Amino acid sequence: MKFLTKINRSYFITLTIVLLISSVLGYLILHQVILNETKEALLGKVNLLKQQISEVGEIPNLYPEIEVKKIHRLDKLGATFKEIFIYNAEEDEMEPYLEYSAQEKIDDSFYSIQLRQSTFENEDLVVILALTMSLLLLSSFVILFVISWRINKTTWADFEQNLAEIENFDFNKKTTLHLMNSDIEEFDRLNRVLTKLTQKLKSDYISLREFAEDASHEIQTPLSIVRFTLDEILQLNPGEKIFEKVVVSINALKRLSALNENLLLLTKIENKQFKADHTISFTNLTNRKLEEFDAVLQMKKLTIETDFIEDFSVSMNQQLAERMFNNLFSNATHHNMENGTIKIQIKKNEFEICNSGSSNTLNNETIFNRFARGNSKSHGLGLAIVKNICNTHSLDIHYTKIDLHCFTIQRNKYK
């Protein structure tokens, strides 16, 4: 809910409640005021009537307003007021009256006096009140709406613009956060805090990135020196025993640099340093890679089964797409058995690679973790890299096992 909507809504609710209560109160007060006024008017009339009777001696009668009767003696003392309803034939409805009744002694005669005066009809009163109140409610809401619309146009516009700026802010871009200053202190305070925070975050982010890259850089140089030296020893043809040891060392070194490179790659993927600037067709990619890996398949005596129902293309980074395929494919060959199979199926929005292998089902939860190693030779980063590539390209990957071990990549439906 927008801030203004929220304010408008609570204002509207409060206003309605206040107006409802004040309507009820207003009704009660008005009713009482009218009653009092009518009473006073009636009392005035009574005096006039008494004067008339004593001076003129004539008994006036005007139903229903004035009813005077001569009586023999006084039955009761004091005057009473009563609210009554009298049928009005003309309008065919009961009308409210305030009735004054008293027994009086005027010039040695006794009279029963009943004076009535029509009061406001309650219904009318309610209608008038309701009308006034809703008019008030409507007009104040219109005014409020106009005011908030104007505020939105002016004050909130800056805020909205700043919000959009923050939303589009990317640490990878070389721009800094530019927030507009407004004449509202709270907003400016927020801007100052945000600017400071992003600057700090950005410098942390850059130094972290640089650290990862510099560390990798610094590791690669001594690795190169060791590798060149070992290679020199190798070229001296030092005899089988030493030769074997040197080859083992070189290969261990290669694994170390591969590990280093893969860790760096993971960091770069997580930092979103790769642009998805190619449309990758999984069918083309698969065909190209299968040709590339033909020797591997022949050597391991693996059978490839492909089923391309419909092409699946994704906007991806070329290098990462290749890496993703390589890792999945290496995985499928590594954990395979002699004369095993690899099945690749591509259909709309889905790429699936399955391989024969051990009968154990792997854990879908932990298999994509870093250093979750399938065997002692691998470094356990292959699938973590695949998972990260998927995450940054709005793709989902999951593992299932029915007959074969399958990895399925699908377009993420929620993005």
Q: Alpha-carbon distance 409 to 23, whole Å?
A: 65
Residue 253 C-beta: closest distance to another protein, Å: 8
Pairing of β 341-347 and β 303-308: parallel
Q: Of the ranges 180-188, 253-261, 353-361, 396-404, which one interacts with another protein (CB under 8 A)?
A: 253-261
174 binds another protein (CB under 8 A): no
Q: Total residues at the site for another protein (CB under 8 A)?
A: 51
Structure tokens at 14: 């409060």
Residue from 183, 228, 359, 360 binding another protein (CB under 8 A): 228
Angle between helices 318-334 and 382-392 (to 10 degrees): 140
Q: Does 299 bind another protein (CB under 8 A)?
A: yes
Which residue of 227, 347, 398, 401 would you call a contact of another protein, by CB under 8 A? 227
Q: How many Cβ atoms sit within 10 Å of the Cβ of residue 98?
A: 20
Check residue 223 for interaction with another protein (CB under 8 A). Answer: yes
HSE-CB of 24 using CA atoms within 13 angstroms: 5
Single out the segment in contact with another protein by CB under 8 A; choices: 1-9, 180-188, 200-208, 250-258.
Answer: 250-258
In the complex, what is the shortest distance from the CB of residue 345 to another protein, in angstroms, rounded to a whole number?
22
Choose which of 59, 190, 264, 372 interacts with another protein (CB under 8 A). 264
Task: Tell whether residue 322 is a contact of another protein (CB under 8 A).
Answer: yes
Q: How many residues does the chain have?
A: 415
Which span (33-41, 90-98, 177-185, 228-236) binds another protein, by CB under 8 A?
Answer: 228-236
> CA nearest 392: which of 220, 222, 253, 267?
267
**Residue 255 contacts another protein per CB under 8 A:** yes
Q: Are the C-beta atoms of 310 and 348 separated by less than 8 Å? A: yes
Q: Which of 45, 202, 289, 411 binds another protein (CB under 8 A)?
A: 289
251 binds another protein (CB under 8 A): yes
Whole-angstrom Cα distance, residue 410 to residue 60? 101
Whole-angstrom CA distances from 411 to 315, 351, 395, 396 are 11, 9, 5, 6
| Interaction of residue 261 with another protein, rule CB under 8 A | yes
Helix (H, G, I), strand (E, B) or coil at 64: coil
Return the residues of window 93-132 that contact another protein according to CB under 8 A.
none
State in Å, rounded, how far the first CA of the chain is from the last one: 23
Which value, to the nearest 10 degrees, does the dihedral of the CA atoms of residues 60, 62, 67, 69 take?
40
- Contact between 293 and another protein (CB under 8 A)? yes
Q: Give me the residues that bind another protein (CB under 8 A), please.
A: 213, 216-218, 220-221, 223-225, 227-229, 231-232, 234-235, 237, 240, 243-244, 247, 250-251, 253-255, 257-258, 261, 264, 274, 289, 292-293, 295-296, 298-300, 319, 322-323, 326-327, 330, 333-334, 377-379, 382
